Amino acid sequence: MLGTGTVGQTVGGKLAGLGHDVCMGSRTPDNEGAAAWVERTGEHASQGTFADAAAFGNEIVVNATPGAVSLDVLHAAGADNLAGKILLDISNPLDFSRGMPPTLTVCNTDSLGEQIQRAFPDARVVKSLNTMNARVMVDPGSVRGPHTVFVAGDDHVARWQVKQLLLQFGWRGDAIFEFDGIAKARGLEMYLPLWLALRGAIGDRPFNIKVAS
Name the CA radius of gyration of the chain, rounded: 16
Q: Report if residue 48 touches ligand NAP, rule: CB under 6 A.
A: no
92 vs 161, beta carbon nearer ligand NAP: 92
Q: How far apart are CA 92 and CA 198, in angstroms?
A: 16
Query: Which residues in the 101-130 window bind ligand NAP by CB under 6 A?
Result: 130
Pairing mode, strands 124-128 and 103-104: unpaired
Among 81, 133, 161, 208, binds ligand NAP (CB under 6 A): 133
Q: Taking contact as CB under 6 A, which single stretch among the options 21-29, 114-122, 142-150, 181-189 is the one that binds ligand NAP?
A: 21-29
Per CB under 6 A, 8 contacts ligand NAP: yes
Per DSSP, the residues of 20-46 read: --EEEEESSTT-HHHHHHHHHH-TTEE
Cis omega (within 30 of 0) on the bond before 101? yes
Contact residue for ligand NAP among 1, 7, 77, 87 (CB under 6 A): 7
Contact 105, 94 (CB under 8 A): yes
Q: Which of residues 193-212 bind ligand NAP (CB under 6 A)?
A: none
Beta carbon of residue 46, minimum distance to ligand NAP (angstroms, whole number): 14
